[in-house]
Chains A and B, each alone.
Chain A
Amino acid sequence: MNTELIGIVVMFTAAIVLAIPFGKYIAKVYGGEKMGLDPIFNPIEKLFYKTSRIDPSSPMDWKQHMVAMLTINMVWFLLGMLILMTQGSLPLNPDRNPSMPADLAFNTVISFVVNCNLQHYSGETGLSYLGQFWLMFLQFVSAGTGMAAAAVVFRAFREKTSSSLGNFYDFFVKSCTRILLPVSFLIAVILAFDGTPMTFEGKDTIVSLEGDTVEVSRGPAAAFVSIKHVGTNGGGFFGVNSAHPFENPSYLSNMVEMVGQLIIPLAMVFAFGYFIRRKRLSWMIFGVMTVGFLMLAIPNILMEVNGNPAIGKMGIDNTLGAMEGKEVRLGAAASGFWSIVTTVISTGSVNSMHDSSMALSGMNELLAMMINCFYGGVGVGILNFFVFIILAVFVSGLMVGRTPEFLGKKVEAREMKIAMIIALIHPLMILVGTGLATAFPEQGASTLNNPGFHGFSEILYEYTSSSANNGSGFEGLGDNTLWWNISTGFVLILSRFLPIIGPVAIAGLLADKRFIPEGEGTLKTDTSTFGLMVFAVIFIVAALAFFPALALGPIAEFFSM
C-alpha cells in the first residue's frame, strides 16, 4: 500500500519539478526570444508560413486573433468530416473498417477539434489508420489553439497599454512545434520501448491457452497515446483508453502518461508569471489550483483504497481497494489519483472505469470537471481560471474600498458582462443538457445501463464531460445514438469556443485601458488572501450551481449505500 502512495507522490512531485523550468521555456517561446533549438525549428516554421503566405510578425488585436482561430478550426472540422465519412474507401485501412455515419463523424470531429475527445466509437473497429492520423493531427492543433489563446491573454498583461497582442499564427505554430512536438516525441519513444505498438500493420492473431484464435488490434498507438496526454486530449487509440494494456502497458507507462498530462497545464501557470514578470502571481494561481486539486484527489485515493463497504459486508476480501473496473497492474491508489488528474485537467483519458468509482469519488470527478480550472486543459485551464480571477477581483476590489482593478487595469461593466456570460455557459450546458435528457427519457435515459441515482449520474457525467471539453465517460451509457451524438456535439462547440473568446476579449479590452500604477490602497492579487477569495468564488460559482444535481446523483447514492 505504501509503495502505491509513494508512487503517486513521485508522479506529482516530478510533474511540478519539471513544470517550473518548462514554464520558463514556454515564456521564452512566446516572448520570441532566441533559443538553442532555433536552427531546428526556424526552417520548419518558415516553410509553413511560406506555403500559407502568412506573415507571422503582423500584429493583431483580440478580434483578429479570434477570427484567425475560428477560421483554422473551421477548416479542420470540414476536412475531418470528409475524411471520417469516406475513410472506408481511403488508403491506410488494413482492417477494412467502415466509413462513419454523419452523426458519429460530426460528434467525433467536433470533439477532437475542441480538444475533448468524447469518443462515441471504438478505435479498433471505428477508424482506419488514416482516420486515426487525422485525429492525431487534431490532437496537436487543438492543444495548440488553446495554448495560443492563452498566449494572447499573457501578452495583454505584459505591456502597460497596448492594442497589439502579437500574432495568432505565430503563437499557434510555436505552441505545436516548440512545445507539444518535442515533449510528445520524448514520451512516445518511452512508451514504444515500454510495449505500446507503433506499426502500420493490421490486426495480429494469437492463439490463446484454450487454443482459440484471437485477433488483436494494433497500429501507430505510441505516437497517438503520447499527444493524447501531452495535449490533454484524452482520446484513446483503443476503445478502453489507458486501461488497455497496449496504451498503458505498465506502472512506468502509467507514471509517464500522468506526468505527460500534468506538465503543460502546470507549466502554463508558471509561464504566465515568467512572461508578465510577476512570478508571485503564478504561485498564487498554482497554490489555489493545487489546494483545489488535492481536496478532490486525496479523498478519492482514500475512498478507492479503502474499498467498497458494501462488498466488505458480503465477506469478500477488500484489501486491494475498490478494484471493480480497475486494472490490477495499476492498483486502486494510482487509479483513484488518475481519475482526478484526468478530470481536473481536461484530458479525459481513463485508466479505470469511472462508472465503478465509489459514489463520492464519482462526485469528485464530476466536481473536477464542473470547476474545470484546477490546472485545466492546456491553455484553456488558465483561461478559465482567469475568468474567476476577474470575478474575484470585482468583489474583493469593492471590499477594500476601490473600484476593481486587475494588474493595473480597471474592471468595468463590459468585462463583467463577458465574465458573467462565460461563467454562466458551463452550468447552462450541463444542467440544460441533463435536464433535456431526463425530460425525454426515450432519448436519453433509455440508453442507460443503470437505473436510479447512478443512472442520473451517468447522464450528468456525459454532459459535464462534454461541457468541460474533458472527454472522459462515466460510461454505462449507450452513447452512439443520434441524440447523444448531436446534443453533446453542440455542447462541445459552445463550451469550447465561447470560454476561449471571452477571456481573450476581456484581456484585449483591459490591454487597451490606461495603466494605473499600484499604490498602498491597491488590492494585491498575488497574495494568499486574494487566493482564498478566488477559491471562494470558484467554489460558490462552480460548485453551488451543481449542488442540487449532485444531491440527486452521487450524494443520494452515497447516503443510500
Chain B
Amino acid sequence: MNNSQSLFQKGVVLDALKQSFMKLNPKLMFRNPVMFTVEIGTAVMFVVTCWTLLGETSQGSPAYNFFVFAVLFLTLLFANFAEAIAEARGKAQAESLRRTREETSAYLADGRVVSSSYLSKGDVFICKAGDIIPADGEIVEGLATIDESAITGESAPVIREAGGDKSSVTGGTKVLSDRIKVRVTAQPGESFLDKMIALVEGASRQKTPNEIALTILLAGFTLVFIIVCVTLKPFADYANAPITIAAFISLFVCLIPTTIGGLLSAIGIAGMDRALRANVITKSGKAVETAGDIDVLLLDKTGTITIGNRKATAFHPAPGIAKETLVRAAVLASMADETPEGKSVIELAGVNPDAYDVVSPRFIPFTAETRSSGIDADGIRIRKGATDAIRQLVEKAGNEFPQQTKETVRVISSNGGTPLVVAENDQAIGVIELQDIIKPGIQERFERLRKMGIKTVMVTGDNPLTAKYIAEKVGVDDFIAEAKPEDKMNYIKKEQASGRLVAMMGDGTNDAPALAQADVGVAMNSGTQAAKEAGNMVDLDNDPTKLIEVVEIGKQLLMTRGTLTTFSIANDVAKYFAIIPALFIGAIPALQGLNIMGLDSPESAILSAVIFNAIIIPLLIPLALKGVTYKPIGASALLRRNLLIYGLGGIVIPFIGIKLIDIVVSVFI
C-alpha cells in the first residue's frame, strides 16, 4: 500500500472542493458553533452589500462591503475545505483498501456460485489455491497459506488455519496453497473497513468527549465576543463614533476562534486517518483520543519484544553422557516437531535426521497434559519437554534426576533462556538451551515510552526467572510470567482501579475479555472474530509494536487541538490592535496611538485582519492533517516548547501577517 502520498492529491482535492460547498448547508454548519456564527455574519454581510448597492451610503462603498463579504465567505469555504480534505483523504485511503475486494465469484459450500457482493453473514464458501478470498470470514475447516500483501504490504505468505487464534481471513487476499472452508462474518457493507469509512464520512461520526469539552470552550469564547461586539454598539454611539456593520462583523469574526473552530473536525478525522495509514482500523474517534492518555502498555513478549520464537542455542549433556548421544536423541525427538523450536534443534545439530536409522518410529505430539513430545521406536523412547514434566517422568520410573542437570536448568533460566530437558528411556540425558532473540532497537523504543510516562508490561508464558531476565535486558517496567489469559485481565483491572488507562494487543479468543476491558484494545487482523469484535482497533499488519505508534498518534491528535487553540486565541491580540483603532479613528483621532502596526487606513486595516483570519486556515491545514510532532521530553518541557511556538508565535505572527497584507491591500484602496 502507498503510504507516502502527498497531502493534496488531485482527485482528493477536487472532491474536497465540491464538499466545501455542500457543507455550507446551515443544518450541517450548526454542529460547529464557531463557524455557524461566521455563516450568520456572512449572510448579514450579503444583505448589507445588497443594501449599499441600492444606494445606502452610511455603510461604506458597495465594493468594500462586497469584499468583506467575499473574505468571510472564503473563511467558511476554507474551514469546510479543511474538514472535507481530511474526510476525502480518509475515504481515499479506505477505498484503496476496499478496492482490493473487487467483485469475485464465491464458491459456496453447497455448490452454488454467487458474486461476492451477495454473500451474507453466515454463508460458508470454499477457497482453493489461486482463489481471491471473496469476503471477510473465519476459517471453519482446513489450513492454507495466504498472501495478504494486498492489505498489509508484507509479501511473505502467512498461514491461517481453522480453530486456532489465526483463523481470520480478509476479503481480497489470495490463497496460495491448500483449500479452506470459510464462514462469512459480516453482512455486506458492515465490515470493519466499511464502518471506518462511514466514520470518516461523517454520517456516523460522533464528537469525542474531549472534542465536546473543547467545543464548549470555543463556544464560550464565541459568546464572550458576541457580548463584546453587541455592547460595543452603545459604547460607540455614546462616544459619537458610529461603527459600520461590516466593521462590527469583521471584528467579531476575527475575535472568535475561527482558526481552531475551522480545523477542529479535520484534526479529529486526520487522527483516524493517520491510524489507518499505519494500517490500523479504528472503530471510533474516541479510541484514538484515549490512546494518547495511555499509562500502561501490555505487550506480549513473543513477536513484540523477541523475534518470533525461541531458537536452540546449545546442548548441555548430563554427567556421564556423551554430547553425541544427547544430540542424537534431541534430533530424533524433534524430527516430526514442526514448531519453530523443534526445527531450530535440528538446525543447531546440523545433521540430517534421516542419517539416524530408526526402526518403525512413532511420533508422540506435544499435548498440554504431558507438556512434552518425542518419539517411540524400536527399543528407544525419547521425550523432550518442560523441566518438571520430564522430571516427573524420570522419577516416576524410579530413576534419579541428576543434580547437575537441575543446576544447568537453573543457570539457563536465569540467563533468560528456556531449558528443554531430554530423556531417553526415562533417564534424563541432558538439556537443550533455547534462547529468545530480542528484536533490534526494542530497547530504544521502551526508553522512549518511559520518557512519555508510559509503563510497559511484558506478558509471557515463560517462568518468572526467564521473564525477569528478559524484562531487565530490554528495559520493560514490569512483567507477567507464566501468564494465563485471566492474568492479563486481572492486571488490567488492577491498573484501572488505581486510575490508569491500559492498552493491550491480542489475537486469541481468550484475549477477547481483556481486549474489551482494556481502554485501548488492538486486535490483530489475523486474530479470531471474537478478538476483533472485542477490541476497539484492528491492526491489519498484525504487528504487536503497533501499539506504540497508536499511542503517539493519540498524543499528536490532542496536541494538535491544544496548540491550534492556543494559536487561535493568541491571534486576538494583534487583531485587536488592527481593528479597534480602525473602528474609532474617524471619530477619535487620538486613538491613532493604538495603531502600532501603522496600518494604512481603517478600511485596509479591517480588510487585512479578516484576510489574515481567512488565509491562516488553509495555511494550517497541513499541520492539522499531519499533526503536531510529539517529542517525549517530559510534560513541562513540552508545554514550554509548544507555548513558545504556538503561544508566542500566535501573538507575533499576525502582527507581521496583517502588516504585510495591509501593504498589499492599501495599493488597491
Contacts and interface: CB of A to CB of B under 8 A. Distances in A.
Interface of A: 391, 394-404, 408, 411-413, 416-417, 420-421, 423-424, 427-428, 431-432, 434-436, 438-439, 441, 445, 452-453, 456, 514-517, 519-524, 527, 529-530, 532-533, 536, 540-541, 544-545, 547-549, 551-552, 555-556, 558-560
A398 B498 CA distance: 22
A559 B646 CA distance: 32
Contacts of B647: 536
A544 B576 contact: yes
Given A398-B565, A400-B559, A556-B591, A413 B216 contact: yes
A110 B499 CA distance: 45
B558 A435 contact: no
A404 B635 CA distance: 12
A520 B224 contact: no
B238 A445 contact: yes
B269 interface: no
Contacts of A398: 210, 214, 558-559, 561-563, 565
Given A403-B289, A413-B216, A520-B452, A432 B227 contact: yes
B220 interface: yes
Contacts of B241: 552
A434 B225 CA distance: 16
A548 B580 contact: yes
A372 B143 CA distance: 73
Interface in B160-212: 209-210, 212
B576 A547 contact: yes
Assign chain B's interface to a size class.
35 or more
Q: Which 9 A-B pairs have the closest CB atoms?
A: A398-B562, A521-B453, A520-B453, A401-B555, A420-B220, A435-B231, A399-B562, A559-B590, A439-B234
A399 B643 contact: yes
Contacts of A436: 234
A434 B634 CA distance: 46
A259 to B, nearest CB: 35
Interface in B227-278: 227-228, 230-239, 241, 251, 255
Given A399-B639, A438-B235, A521 B452 contact: yes
B216 A523 contact: no
Given A521-B454, A524-B636, A551-B584, A395 B558 contact: no
B216 to A, nearest CB: 5
A556 B231 CA distance: 18
Interface stretch (B60-68, B128-136, B566-574): B566-574
Given A412-B213, A515-B499, A520-B451, A401 B559 contact: yes
A203 B13 CA distance: 85
A402 B570 contact: no
A541 B224 contact: yes
Given A413-B216, A536-B647, A547-B580, 6 more contacts: A402-B292, A435-B230, A514-B499, A520-B453, A548-B580, A552-B241
A432 B554 CA distance: 42
B638 interface: yes
Nearest to B229: A548
B289 A435 contact: no
Contact of A559 (B213, B223, B563, B593): B593
Contacts of A402: 292-293, 555, 558, 635
B588 interface: yes
A416 B555 CA distance: 21
B220 A424 contact: yes
A453 B453 CA distance: 55
18 contacts: A399-B639, A401-B562, A403-B293, A403-B558, A404-B213, A413-B216, A416-B214, A416-B217, A420-B216, A427-B224, A428-B227, A434-B235, A520-B635, A536-B570, A545-B224, A548-B576, A555-B591, A556-B588
B231 A434 contact: yes
B29 interface: no
Interface of B: 209-210, 212-214, 216-217, 219-220, 223-225, 227-228, 230-239, 241, 251, 255, 289, 292-293, 295, 450-455, 498-500, 554-556, 558-559, 561-563, 565-566, 569-570, 572-573, 576, 580-581, 583-584, 588, 590-594, 630, 634-636, 638-640, 642-643, 646-647
Contact of B228 (A391, A395, A431, A555): A431
Contacts of A520: 450-454, 634-635
B562 A397 contact: yes
A404 B561 CA distance: 12
A453 to B, nearest CB: 7
A142 B451 CA distance: 49
B555 A544 contact: no
Contacts of B295: 516, 519, 521
A195 B35 CA distance: 63
Given A416-B213, A420-B220, A544-B576, A522 B235 contact: no
Nearest to A426: B224
B224 A395 contact: no
Contacts of A514: 499
Nearest to B450: A520
Contacts of B573: 540, 544
B590 A560 contact: yes
A411 B562 CA distance: 14
Contacts of B235: 434-435, 438, 456, 548-549, 552
A556 B238 CA distance: 13
Given A438-B235, A552-B236, A427 B228 contact: yes
Contact of B227 (A420, A521, A541, A545): A545
B503 to A, nearest CB: 13
Contact of A438 (B214, B234, B289, B561): B234
A248 B643 CA distance: 46
Which of A436, A549, A552 has the most chain B CB within a 10 Å cutoff? Answer: A552
A152 to B, nearest CB: 23
A556 B590 contact: yes
B514 to A, nearest CB: 20
B631 to A, nearest CB: 10
B579 to A, nearest CB: 9
Which of A428, A435, A453 has the most chain B CB within a 10 Å cutoff? Answer: A435
B638 A401 contact: yes
Contacts of A445: 238
A548 B248 CA distance: 12
Contacts of B237: 438-439
A396 B562 contact: yes
A160 to B, nearest CB: 9
Which of B234, B454, B565, B581 has the most chain A CB within a 10 Å cutoff? Answer: B234
A182 to B, nearest CB: 40
Contacts of A452: 239
Contacts of A441: 238
A533 B643 contact: yes
Given A424-B223, A551-B580, A435 B234 contact: yes
Contacts of B500: 516-517
Nearest to A455: B238
Contacts of B576: 544, 547-548
Given A396-B639, A401-B638, A408 B499 contact: yes
A548 B228 contact: yes
A435 B239 CA distance: 12
B569 A540 contact: yes
B229 to A, nearest CB: 8
Contacts of A516: 295, 499-500
Contacts of B293: 402-403
B566 to A, nearest CB: 6
A522 B453 contact: yes
B418 to A, nearest CB: 33
A431 B558 CA distance: 34
Given A456-B239, A532-B643, A536-B647, A521 B635 contact: yes
B409 to A, nearest CB: 39
A169 to B, nearest CB: 33
A420 B643 CA distance: 22
A561 to B, nearest CB: 8
Contacts of A394: 213-214, 217
